[in-house]
Structure 1
Amino acid sequence: MNASHMISRRTVLRGLGTAMALPWLEAMGPLTSWATAAEGGAVAPNRMAFIYVPNGINMADWTPKEEGTNYEMPTILKHLEKHRSEMLVLTGLTADKARANGDGGGDHARALSAFLTGCQPKKTDGNEIRAGVSVDQVAASRIGDQTRLPSLELGCEAGAMAGNCDSGYSCVYSSTMAWKSATQPLPKEVDPKLVFERMFSSSGDENRAKRDAARKSVLDFVRDDASQLTQSLGSYDRRKLDEYFTSVREIEQRIDRAKNMPTIDVPEGVAKPSGIPKDYAEHLRLMADLLVLAFQTDMTRVSTFVMANEGSNKSYPFIGVSEGHHELSHHGNEQAKKDKIRQINEFHVQQLAYLIDRLKSVPEAGGTLLDHCMIAYGSGNSDGNAHNHDDLPVLLFGKGGGTIQTGRHIKYAKETPLNNLWLSMLERMDVRLPSLGDSTGHLPGLTA
């Protein structure tokens, strides 16, 4: 942008004593310089959560040989044996938009960003990012007004929101699963303390009503100033500013909705987290506890949970794996490396089993909280060594309010879009769409 059209990074919109800081815009200069600057119903609602693990799976130790109900649990899935009756193993699903499709390298970035969108992410390491609306945000846009939080984005590995992380793809693609719009990724929160405060900070606050009453729409006060600023911005900045204003408006509307909702107190015996645990397993389980708490209190009905970023090279010395995960995923068919990948896969599945245990332990509407959930678990990569995106490792837990028959291994035809599953899950949230991303229809066989 021409220097004569640059605006200060300290620019604010002002009106009637109100000052609103702006998000970073192209017109403020390079991002690097910016960064260095200073009950009552009889039917319980359905919930949906999407849990992601990176770098693919050692598929030989994941995929059951038999279909139907009497399949033998493969090595990695043995930790889920006690949850067999509450789960579906789904094989044959494909994330086609995680493939290159003419864009060259970058399978890790595409794997995560296409996992819930079914859209080809634009190859860029700049600010012209583009993917698609993710299934969780489609649900949040339709049912989010029924809960305090439209959705909850969780993770256990921080990630950059800019820069080149994978063969010319922005780091945002490798670290973000939820996309509110094609150009608006929703960053995950990795600090359990901050998640807890977001969920319960207003509970029991005597000043809350006074504070909310003073929060008349900030946008109303600054509209004229914003209109003048918009005229001097480029198309990209105008879009980002509009997204920013929309987000602020949604927060204000959520405050208004909260006035008519009963206060949600912290359940007895639940302690506020002190921060990010040093132990990775404890971190994962603490986030799982918060997800369960959010569903249990009906704080939200939609969540995403990224256990580790796509392409993560995290090591797992606590289970005897000192090498980095991504490094090992390029195993070159060496059995010793494949064995260590299996160990990492088993560790993640053990944390998943903990989450399912917790959901099953909460009684609800004559059953359990899990009965009224759909918990999808998987990866946008199949074999990390081959970087293939077909025959993905996908599990689905919960009965979706009685709409899903669990306890089976279902094998689908090759190239069946993963988004067919997401479309079917949306329908069970009373969100009906003709299509989503690259879907070709609803996924058959989820009910008997």
Structure 2
Amino acid sequence: SGSCDVGFSCTYTNTISWRSDTTPLSGENNPRAVFERLFGDAGSTDSAARLARIRKDRRILDSVTEKIDALQRGLGPNDRVRVTEYLEAVRDIERRIQKAEEQSDRELPEVDQPAGIPATYAEHARLMFDLMLLAYQTDLTRVSTYMMAREISGRTYPEIGVPDSHHPTSHHRDDPTLYEKIAKINEIHISLFGYFLEKARATPDGDGNLLDHMMLLYGAGMSDSNLHDNKGLPLVLVGGGSGQLKPGARHLVTKERTPATNLHLTILDKMGVPVDRIADSTGPLDLLTVS
């Protein structure tokens, strides 16, 4: 709720993931909470502890579902809509528990539960990337999104010589000093993404490594933050996509005003989730097709 820059809801600055056209998924920046959501609160990735927690969650969920079913029979139409939305969230939890049960005996690196949010930005980001990697290793998820910083971010980066707030710095007004500072911020972001890629490439998976079987999209919502220009977005698509992407490093340039959602549409298609349209998309890109 509320307005955050150019009249848009603050929701758009805090998440890039949505349950439906109108329902955003809230982000989580606490590594401890992410770990608990993935592996429970047993404190480690130990398979016996994880399985015990999963079974406890299953019992709680079964009890909640029974009570909701009984409650729903006596509700009016408006209340039924609200309960239906709640049930969707419950079913989402049920799917996660089922997935966790299927993967509970999978061999995992011994990892202890994080204590909380690390002191520095780089440590925090690396820990979040490590947790994402664990989620992929255990097949607890096939899709994740990660914001390196929220939109209109006020974060400072004193550890790399940028004590200034990110968002005002991005409005550089062609000032060479601000150019240098925003370049440093971009550099730390892309280097941390590189850290994740290297770890994925070093993780065995099936007939190759994890990166061979992933499609990772990295980028920003603006090409020129000073002008709030979102045309010609610089986007990076990395990974083998299990053979769905053309191999090799290439710089691809699309026709002017090609929607970025055309790339999203293409990625979905290559993941086996074909849809006709996403937002303002006009069609898939053939630049990435394996010949």
TM range, normalised to the smaller chain? 0.7 to 0.9
The two structures have a TM-score, normalised by structure 1, of 0.59
| Shift of residue 216, structure 1, vs aligned partner | 2.6
Q: Secondary structure at the match of 2:48?
A: coil
User: CA 1:213–1:240 in 2, change beyond 3 Å: closer, same or farther?
Assistant: closer
Contact 2:103/2:140, CA 8 A, preserved across alignment: no
- The within-5 A match list for 1:321-332 is 321-332=162-173
Q: Which residue of 2 aligns with 1:204?
A: 48
Corresponding position: 1:384 with 2:225: yes
How far apart are the structure 1 equivalents of 2:53 and 2:92?
Answer: 21
Superimposed CA distance per residue, residues 352-400 of structure 1 (whole angstroms, 9 cap, x where no aligned partner):
1111111111122332210100010001111001101110010011011
Could you tell me whether the CA contact under 8 Å between 2:260 and 2:281 is conserved in 1? yes
- 8 Å Cα contact 1:420/1:439 also seen in 2: yes
Q: What's the CA shift string for 1:82-135, capped at 9, x where partnerless?
A: xxxxxxxxxxxxxxxxxxxxxxxxxxxxxxxxxxxxxxxxxxxxxxxxxxxxxx
Classify the secondary structure of the residue corresponding to 2:174: coil
The residue aligned with 2:137 is 296
Instruction: Tell me which residue corresponds to 2:240.
Output: 399
> What corresponds to 1:282 in structure 2?
123
* Match status 1:435 vs 2:277: yes
- Where does residue 107 of structure 1 map in the other structure? none
**Contact 2:72–2:80 (CA<8 Å) still a contact in 1?**
no
User: Kindly tell me: are residues 399 and 431 of structure 1, through their superposed partners in 2, closer, same or farther at Cα, counting changes over 3 Å?
Assistant: same
After TM superposition, give the deviation of residue 312 of structure 1 in Å.
Answer: 0.5
Pick closer, same or farther for the CA change 1:351–1:215 going to 2, 3 Å. closer
**Alignment-derived partner of residue 361 in structure 1:** 202
How has the CA–CA distance of structure 1 residues 176 and 403 changed in structure 2, closer, same or farther, with 3 Å as cutoff?
Answer: same
Mapped contact 1:193–1:272 kept (Cα < 8 A) = yes
Whole-Å Cα distance in 2 between the matches of residues 381 and 276 of structure 1? 28
Partner of 1:142: none
CA distance in 2, matches of 1:208, 1:337: 50
Taking only aligned residues, the RMSD between alpha carbons, in angstroms, comes to 2.3
The letter of the residue matching 2:285 is L
How far off is 1:311 after superposition? 0.8
**% identical aligned pairs:** 41
Bigger helix share: 2
Corresponding residue to 2:20 among 161, 181, 185: 181
* Structure 1 residue 268 displacement after superposition: 3.2
- What letter corresponds to residue 216 of structure 1 in structure 2? D
Cα distance 1:239–1:318, how it changes in 2: closer, same or farther (>3 A)?
A: farther
Measure the CA separation in 2 of the matches of 1:363 and 1:254. 24
Worse-matched range after superposition: 283-292 or 262-271: 262-271
Gap change, CA 1:196 and 1:209, over 3 Å in 2? closer
1:225 aligns with 2:64: no
Structure exhibiting the larger radius of gyration computed from Cα positions: 1
Q: 1:333 maps to what in 2?
A: 174
Counterparts of 2:128 and 2:60, CA distance in 1: 33
Over 3 Å counting, the alpha-carbon distance change for 1:431 and 1:217 in structure 2 is farther
Shift of 1:245: 2.1
Give me the TM-score of the superposition, normalised by structure 2.
Answer: 0.88
Kindly provide the amino acid, as one letter, of the partner of residue 209 in structure 1: R
Q: Which protein, 1 or 2, shows the higher relative CO under an 8 Å CA cutoff with sep ≥ 6?
A: 1
Matched, 1:415 2:257: yes
The answer on whether the counterparts of 1:204 and 1:265 sit within 8 Å (CA) in structure 2 is: no
Among 14, 30, 34, the alignment partner of 1:195 is: 34
Q: Which has the higher strand share?
A: 1
Show the counterpart of 1:216.
Answer: 62
Report the alpha carbon displacement of residue 272 of structure 1 after superposing the two structures with TM.
2.1
Cα separation, 1, equivalents of 2:56 and 2:173: 63
* Aligned residue-pair number: 282
Q: Is the 8 A contact 2:31 2:127 kept in 1?
A: yes
Structure 1 residue aligned with 2:192 = 351
* 1:169 Cα deviation from its structure 2 partner: 2.6
Residue in structure 2 matched with residue 169 of structure 1 by the alignment: 8
